[in-house]
Amino acid sequence: MSQELTLQQRLEACAGPDPLHRAVKDAVAALAQASIEISDLTSRGALAGITGQARGRNTDGDVQKDLDVRADDIIRAALGRLPIGVLASEEMADLDILDANAPISIAFDPLDGSSNINTNMSVGTIFSIMPTTADPSATFTQPGSAQLAAGFVVYGPQTSLVLTIGHGVDIFTLDRDSREYKLTGSMVQIPPDANEFAINSSNRRHWDAPVRSYIEECVMGAEGPCGKDFNMRWIGSLVAEAFRILVRGGIFLYPSDGRRGYEEGRLRLVYEAHPMAFIVEQAGGGAITGRTRILDISPASLHQRVPLIMGSIKNVQRVEHMHSQPEVALEANAPLFGHRGLFRI
């Protein structure tokens, strides 16, 4: 009989008598329950009618897959039984202002990585819990540092829930027999210096100089200024990249680039970058746009995009240095690197 602490037990122990903390506890428990239902669907794929078929486009123009919509419905149903101030979802154009007197509000990406669904790759759910503001419509204009909790679920070989309520990061793994999440990683820390980077290298010609020079350095490996070889990963699923970084370190980059519509990158601030940044910082890592700390940013709009560079603190600091010292970036982009690096200029 396994003795691991369950998510419910952990939440009860952390919540105490404080009404705000108990509201957070109830919301996380409801999101966890919804994620078990979504996990069931993703694990059955086509047998559950999940084919990755496009069902139209969401407000931001992203292709909406069948599971995006079903996951959004499941999460809304699970939260519907709770007092929630404002709900915000990647799949909905505007905020849902539900109960202005409720202490907490939730923003979520019901299914991140949905372009992977029919290729059997890991996908996930991301959520951010904020205090509801006096004017509820302003709740998700608060900086990321105002978050009360953040988490994500990876529907992969294991279904794992990663959670912070501001006192470190815990990882819970779904026990399919008892249908409970059990604590499998407590106070997780990201290794401060790593040799693995994740970026979609097909966009190299669109990157700004600092990102190009950082990746060039990584590709130069032991022959370059880093003095060590790097490995590369790109799964195309933020939750999978984030989980790997929590477990073994590394750096993830989805920078701004020159493509139309990608001037601020691809990822959304409110329900992707803010929660990921809270988790990564709580695990000792860093999360920046290149020049700005993600948690310091106050959104101007609900579906605002933001460049996201996060992971092992020393690697993130190197990228930040390159953004603050343009001459460093320009030098690293000199022809010498171009002829010796992976990418020919």
- Give the active site residue among 196, 217, 272, 281: 272
112: contact with ligand AFP by CB under 6 A: yes
Q: Which residues, numbered 25-84, are part of the site for ligand AFP (CB under 6 A)? A: 62
Catalytic residue status for 73: no
236: contact with ligand AFP by CB under 6 A: yes
CB of 336 to ligand AFP, least distance (A): 29
Q: Using CB under 6 A, pick the residue from 52, 103, 110, 113 that binds ligand AFP.
A: 113
Q: Which is nearer to ligand AFP, 162 or 328 (CB)?
A: 162
Catalytic residue status for 272: yes
Encode the chain in three state secondary structure. Answer: CCCCCEHHHHHHHHHCCCHHHHHHHHHHHHHHHHHHHHHHHHHHHHHHCCCCCEEEECCCCCEEEHHHHHHHHHHHHHHCCCCCCEEEECCCCCCEECCCCCCEEEEEEEEECHHHHHHCCCEEEEEEEEECCCCHHHHHHCCHHHCCEEEEEEECCCEEEEEECCCCEEEEEEECCCCEEEEEECCCCCCCCCCEEECCHHHHHHECHHHHHHHHHHHHHHHCCCCCCCEEECCCCHHHHHHHHHHHCCEEEECCECCCCCECECCEHHHHHHHHHHHHHHCCCEEECCCCEHHHCCCCCCCCECCEEEECHHHHHHHHHHHHCHHHHHHHCCHHHHHHCCCCC
CB of 24 to ligand AFP, least distance (A): 25
Contact flags string 180-219 toward ligand AFP, x per CB under 6 A: --------------------x-------------------
- Give the active site residue among 26, 66, 72, 112: 112
- Give the active site residue among 26, 68, 170, 320: 68
Catalytic residue status for 269: no
Q: Which is nearer to ligand AFP, 136 or 151 (CB)?
A: 151
CB of 191 to ligand AFP, least distance (A): 21
Active site (catalytic) residues:
62, 68, 90-91, 109, 111-112, 272
Q: Which residues bind ligand AFP (CB under 6 A)?
A: 62, 112-115, 200, 236-238, 254, 266-267
